[in-house]
Amino acid sequence: MRAFGRGAGWRASIVRIPGIYAEDRLPLARLHRGTPALVPQDDVYTSHIHADDLARTMVAALFRGRAQRVVHASDDTELRMADYFDLVADRRGLPRPPRITRGQAHEVIDKTLLSFMSESRRLDNRRLKRELRLRLRYPTVTSFFDT
């Protein structure tokens, strides 16, 4: 949001934020605990953004955000949640999480975590790139690990 002159009011832009990752924001504790992930047929898509790119997004939204617009602050990654955990596990030399069905998950996973595992997010970041004119430093989760 920003104000335009005295008495001009406020202009608001909304930034929708998905899963944030960075070196200190990876699901390592979950992988160490061996928390199960869903089998592919029950799994959901999840969107991500690196913490540095999110910070840059917020600054860009302050200066370039259009009034009453929603911008999805996400990178170009298109992964199911379990595939994200596999990627992190592989890149950090940890065991991949075991796979279970959604029915099994209801029996062994906390309701709050299960709710999170049920939210499918495939965000479209075109406004981030076009309207905010942001070029992501980490266009995918994989590119983060490759740097």
Instruction: Give 35-76 pLDDT, tens digit per residue.
Output: 999 999 999 999 999 999 999 999 999 999 999 899 999 999
Q: Which amino acid is at 143?
A: S
Query: Residue 1 pLDDT more than 80?
Result: no
Buried/exposed code over 98-133 (b: 16+ C-beta within 10 A; e: otherwise): eebebeebeeebeeeeeeebeeeeebebebbeebbe
Query: Residue 4 pLDDT more than 70?
Result: no
Structural domains of the chain ordered from first start: 2-138 (3.40.50.720)
């992190």: which residue's tokens? Answer: 88
Residue 96 · residue 89 · CB < 8 Å: yes
